[in-house]
């Protein structure tokens, strides 16, 4: 049975405070509790948009999310309204929010969203790459081996892919993408979206990796074109080349074959045989 409480997932501006809607101001002023990823940034945002937060403000970030979600669930069960807001974008999308949402749904509590700007769809729209079908892959793994395996499994993904990345890891991630997808695969690096120093760099992954070596600052979203399958032997030849690139990057060859065959929807043995014929190795 649905409780009287309500959980509101509030999208925050990704750069410009002027992008907020009047509804955000309203919910911040009327909520019983506002759970913020960074309480100082919340208060700065409230000041910028002329909102006076009427309820209790609590922190809600990665390190305390599990314990805080349980506390906030009890507030919701008491029939109160809880707003979750992160530093930028939508709660639950590479930001805290999923755990509390899951608990609220299980408890039969109303969950609604106050949509706002999204770095994912903003970057996708301005990238110039196909936007009819896409997937969001979040942050690539930090460790090189794990990152190579994850990207290898995406090498035959036909949808446009959107990633987040920290500026100090951008060059390594772009280089790993060039290894997994090919240096000529088209991509766009979107930096500081909607902010004063917004920048979009477009080009092949290899070219972008070289550019990023000089150092990049700010919030980063990377958009990568999907794999374009070609007929017959050319399709297999490209997959074999991707196996070689992943192997050179440190992924075990058998693992690369398995990941790519699964992603491409072909029998693993077919790709294994093609690799063996070309390289003479398993």
User: Does residue 263 carry a pLDDT above 80?
Assistant: no
pTM recorded for the entire structure: 0.80
Sequence-ordered alpha helix ranges (H) in the chain: 22-30, 39-49, 65-77, 98-106, 119-127, 144-153, 170-181, 205-212, 232-248, 253-264, 268-279
Common-topology check for domains 6-117 and 118-282:
no
DSSP state of 164: E
32-36, 171-175, 210-214, 231-235: least confident range = 231-235
Q: Which CATH architecture has domain 118-282?
A: 2-Layer Sandwich (3.30)
pLDDT at 205: 97
100/58 Cα distance (integer angstroms): 14
Domain residue ranges of the chain, discontinuous segments joined by +: 6-117, 118-282
Domain 6-117 has CATH 3.40.1010.10: yes
pLDDT in tens, 190-225: 999 999 999 999 999 999 999 999 999 999 999 999
Q: Is the dihedral of CA 59, 92, 109, 28 positive or negative?
A: positive
Residues 6+ apart with CB under 8 A from 8: 27, 31, 81, 82, 83, 84, 112, 113, 114
SS3 (DSSP) at 71 = helix
| Residue 253's pLDDT band (cuts 50, 70, 90) | confident
Residue 270 has pLDDT above 90, yes or no: no
Question: Which segment of 38-42, 109-113, 152-156, 188-192 scores lowest on mean pLDDT?
Answer: 152-156
Strands 186-191 and 81-85: unpaired
């Amino acid at each position: 049975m649905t409780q009287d409480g309500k959980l509101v997932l509030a999208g925050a501006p990704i750069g410009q405070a002027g992008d907020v809607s009047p509804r955000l101001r309203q919910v911040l002023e009327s909520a019983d509790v506002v759970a913020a990823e960074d309480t100082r940034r919340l208060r700065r945002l409230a000041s910028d948009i002329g909102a006076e937060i009427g309820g209790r403000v609590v922190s809600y970030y990665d390190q305390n999310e599990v314990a805080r979600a349980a506390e906030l669930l009890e507030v919701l069960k008491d029939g109160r309204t809880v707003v979750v807001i992160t530093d930028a974008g939508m709660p639950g999308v590479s930001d805290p929010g999923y755990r509390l949402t899951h608990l609220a749904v299980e408890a039969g509590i109303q969950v609604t969203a106050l949509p706002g700007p999204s770095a994912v769809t903003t970057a996708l729209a301005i990238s110039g790459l196909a936007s009819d079908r896409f997937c969001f892959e979040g942050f690539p793994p930090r460790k090189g081996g794990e990152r190579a395996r994850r990207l290898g499994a995406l090498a035959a993904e036909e949808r446009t892919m959107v990633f987040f990345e920290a500026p100090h890891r951008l060059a390594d991630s772009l280089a790993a993408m060039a290894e997994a997808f090919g240096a000529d695969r088209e991509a766009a690096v979107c930096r500081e979206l909607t902010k004063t120093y917004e920048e979009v760099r477009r080009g092949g992954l290899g070219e972008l990796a070289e550019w990023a070596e000089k150092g990049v600052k700010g919030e980063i979203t990377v958009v990568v074109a999907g794999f374009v399958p070609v007929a017959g032997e050319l399709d297999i030849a490209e997959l074999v080349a991707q196996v070689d690139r992943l192997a050179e990057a440190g992924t075990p060859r058998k693992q690369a074959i398995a990941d790519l065959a699964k992603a491409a929807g072909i029998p693993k043995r077919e790709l294994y045989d093609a690799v063996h014929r070309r390289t003479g190795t398993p």
